[in-house]
Chains A and B, each alone.
Chain A
Amino acid sequence: MIILTVEKTKKWMNEIQKRMEANKEQLTVLDQAIGDGDHGINMERGFREVLAKISDTEYESVADVLKSVAMTLTAKVGGASGPLYGTAFLKMSMAMQGKEVDEIVFKTAVREAAEGIKMRGKAGMGEKTLYDVWNQVANFLAEEPAEDWDALLEVCQATIEDTREMTATKGRASYLKERSKGHVDPGSMSSFYIFEALMTVMETGDGSE
């Protein structure tokens, strides 16, 4: 079963952009509590630039789309989210290079993305970063078929809630030490929207089938 096509990947980015725009304020408020308060602005700008870049470009493969996404996010997002999301999409792209994105390739790509975030951010599980969400999604996909998207989203949701009571040890929030507790991690929240967007695309298809 093919999970992602060029069209679906473009639609995925479109769905992400909609969510970043709609939740810009929420992400910013979360980041104001424990960071530098620009996450919503950065993510909205980043994915707006992504859409501008990919909408009118012809791509040969999903890997090519995601490489373009990675380059754009790295250049345009600013803050730590730029290189972190840039690395995630670049690793996905590399895992998909020269392949059709079936279930196995997709699962490998998500795991590679999670490992990329871990490497770039020097983060481990439970450190109140977006790695928590990506790692849990990769773990879920290692056990379950890539079809129960509701369950996958529940995993994301639960992971975000877990970040609320954690003390941050990475990123700007780590300077707040204990004060970072009681707030959901903004990067985990934006990662949730990325997977929620994916679920929407998976459940509606791209109309070409």
Chain B
Amino acid sequence: MSWEVVLDIAAAACFLFAGLLSLAAGVGVLRFGDLLSRMHAGTKPQVLGVLLGLAGYGLRMRSGPVLWTVLLVALFQLLTAPVAAHMVGRAGYRTGKVSSEGLAVDELTNDLSTAQQDIGPTG
């Protein structure tokens, strides 16, 4: 088996897992019950899915310019996905879209209400 066949098979495997993870991420977004749980589906399997897809693309194309672009996309995906999830979660929290009923422990709501009391009743 030549190198090229080996690389192509590796690329195919990457694409397959990337597809499965993206599918799972999509199903997760649909099935999870609340905003914050959905953000988990949107960060972890989704990010790894994109990374595997990029790896597959790099392995299949095997050229310099493609490799550099792929590296950049992967890096920025890793940097921006958590920030985006954080922003959505934070906005959800502050606009009351997150109910603490479904949570086992909710230390943020506790701390926020303590802070409110410290400031005073009207705020």
Q: Do they bind each other? A: no
Name A's B-contacting residues (CB within 8 A): none
Name B's A-contacting residues (CB within 8 A): none
